[in-house]
Amino acid sequence: MRKRVWMAWVVCLVFPAVVWGQQRPFATDDAEILATGRVRAQVGIEFLQRQRYTLSGLEGDLSRLGVAAVQVGVGEYAEFQLSGVLQEVLSVTGRSEPVVAPDFSGESTSAFGNLMLGTKLRMVREKGRRPAVAFKFAVELPNTNQKSGLGNDETQFYSSLLFKKGFARAEVLGEVGFAILGSPVAAGRQADPLTYGVGVLVPLHRNLKLVAEVHGRQGPGGRIGNENKSQARAGVQFRTGAVRWDLAGVAGLTRDDPRSGIVAGATCEFQAFNRKPVPVRLVD
């Protein structure tokens, strides 16, 4: 998979004839899907201050390196998605009583980030006053283990409805759904929070857009390891040549979110394969 991602970036840098979609720096997904055979490759970094982990009792500044995603249009109505983080590094600045004690030495800990596999299905296109609507479901795998203090060793499931609507020059993205989060401290229990997101893109120039977003999850109680979370992001998207860049600030809206942070990254898109017509044989 890594080799294919690097090949995708080479293609984007060499062949500038690309079509752009709205993704980074949003966590809210776009209701539009990629055309058949198109591939979107994204990579970025995140620096988040005062990130808290109630399960391990850790607090510190989190660096997420290689925040990567690959999306592939696999049909007229479907898109496949794969995303993850190559490395998460926490510089520990505080500790509280852990529920599950981490196992590392020193004042920093690191781990491979969780992988997420998802599928997005188009329901309707945007037309007139009607927004574009899509359905998405995804599974997050527990690649980040508890020993590092950064994971909870639980597989998580997400499903949501996605919306997109243009208003004058601006575009609005919306997402609402639910998650099924296994409890890392109580066998057989789970949290089922509501997930939500709203994003706005406002073009200032052909190659420059202002972006803003609020996203998170909210459920009764906010259990340990599956706390309620919410973040706001605001920044810009700008294109140079065949690559679209993004830069945004982050503000946590709950006590278990990072106090502040910054995210940056790049996106490119290209045609990887074409849909071939199936030959039809006539039988006498």
What's residue 281's pLDDT?
A: 63
pLDDT tens for 95-118 read 999 999 999 999 999 999 999 999
121 near 103, Cβ under 8 Å? no
What's residue 11's pLDDT?
A: 43
pLDDT tens for 42-75 read 999 999 999 999 999 999 999 999 999 999 999 9
Residue 279 is given by DSSP the state: P
Q: For residue 284, is it within any domain?
A: no
Q: For residue 143, is it within any domain?
A: yes
User: φ and ψ at 16, to 5 degrees?
Assistant: -80, 0
**CA dihedral of residues 219, 132, 210, 199 (deg, nearest 10):** -10
Q: For residue 44, is it within any domain?
A: yes
Q: Choose the weakest-confidence range: 94-103, 126-135, 213-222.
A: 213-222
What's residue 4's pLDDT?
A: 45
What's residue 189's pLDDT?
A: 85
Q: For residue 270, is it within any domain?
A: no
Residue 127 is given by DSSP the state: B
44 near 65, Cβ under 8 Å? no
What domain range is 171 assigned to? 2-265
Our count of domains for the chain comes to 1
- Side-chain half-sphere CA neighbours of 84 within 13 A: 19
Q: What is the average pLDDT across 8-22?
A: 44
Q: For residue 282, is it within any domain?
A: no
Q: What is the average pLDDT across 212-230?
A: 88
pLDDT at 225 over 80: yes
249 near 235, Cβ under 8 Å? yes
Predicted confidence band of residue 20 (pLDDT cuts 50, 70, 90): very low
Predicted confidence band of residue 14 (pLDDT cuts 50, 70, 90): very low
Q: What is the CATH number of the domain that holds 90?
A: 2.40.160.40
**Percent with pLDDT over 70 in the chain:** 88
